[in-house]
Amino acid sequence: MVSYRKRGNAWQYEISYKDQNGKYKKLRKSGFLLKSEAILAASKVQTEHPNLTTVKSGSESLVSYYKRWIQVYKQNAVTPITYNKYQNTAKHAIELFGDLKLKDLTKLIYQERLNEFAKTHARRTVSCFHKQLRACILEALDEKIITTDPTRKAVITGQERPKMAKTLNYADWTKLLRYLNTSQIGEMIIYLAAVTGMRYGEIVGLTSNDIDLENKLINVNKAWDYKYKTGFMKTKTRSSVREIAIDSETSRKLDKFLECHASEPNRPIFMNAAGHILVSAEINKVLTEKLAELKIPRITFHGLRHTHASILLYKGVSVLSVSRRLGHSNITTTQSTYLHIIKELESQDQDKIIAILNNISK
């Protein structure tokens, strides 16, 4: 039921309704110069919010709604690491949106705050932030708490990181391997990444039980959460559980390393005496300093994985074998990641095919 009355020089509408508990509530709004304006506004509210409870929900702040949303929809549905990312988004949202109410969030405001975030973050980070926040806002749209999508057609920008090589060439790769001091934890980790293509979490999750020196195999069956320090965790995908064959030199270096760094069977072999495992920033620092010392172009630690795969492909190892060694979920992932190399190799194969056919008539 709607009623109207004039208060001073302005009109007010009052809508009576029952809340979710069956109790009568009243929704009032004043400040209309004409009664017709109050009637039009009340009609719009009733059309957009048939049960009227969502009108009150719109007074909740965006950050508060987002926190409740991730707790209900994400906490028990994603891994602890992924949930932590959603929580980080909440921290950024507090800085950007403060106590801004859902009903007051417009496309312009959203884009302005997104642009502000982009001033100090990489484009990929901004995209992830937008993706997580937008999913929550669309939920509010579905619940009719808001009537339009303020994130629609948002423009994603961000800081461009300085470009660096993604992989080492064969000469620099072999040079790096020759000059690594594999008695040191950090440099042994780098060596293993370069000769196996393992992910960082997989390497630092290795225990002595995972290393079969007799058969020259490394068993990848878990990873280590070096970022949030929750301990052992599952590998990235089911296909990441695999056996990786190693050469005699790598086997010898591992044997010597294990002698110098004896540890319990279920304790990570790269955990130091203080119980610390290097985080990604620390291992990248070790790698950067080593590459600078050897006058080799800088790459990231993950670039060692790409280097390993690229060299195997260039040396004629099949895409299927490389895919299995890397622990990719399917061969399509490998093909898409190393498409430029595969195309180059296909071009070389075409030349070989023509050469074979040309020899038929000779």
Q: What CATH topology corresponds to 170-345?
A: hpI Integrase; Chain A (1.10.443)
Instruction: Map tokens 């007074």 to a residue.
Output: 59
Tell me what the pLDDT averaged over the chain comes to: 90
Q: Which of 79-83, 161-165, 219-223, 354-358 has the lowest mean pLDDT?
A: 161-165
Collapse the DSSP code of 8 into the 3-class scheme (helix H, G, I; strand E, B; otherwise coil) and give the result.
coil
Model confidence at 193, pLDDT cuts 50, 70, 90, reads very high
Residue of 304, 294, 286 whose CA lies nearest to 165: 304
Condensed to tens digits (0 to 9), the pLDDT of residues 300-323 reads: 999 999 999 999 999 999 999 999
Q: Do 236 and 149 meet the contact criterion of CB atoms below 8 Å apart?
A: no
Instruction: Classify domain 62-142 at the CATH superfamily level.
Output: Tyrosine recombinase, N-terminal domain (1.10.150.130)
pTM over 0.85: no
Instruction: Please provide the DSSP assignment of 150-162 as one string.
Output: TTTTPPP--BPPP
CA distances from 120 to 131, 134, 258, 268 (A): 18, 20, 43, 36
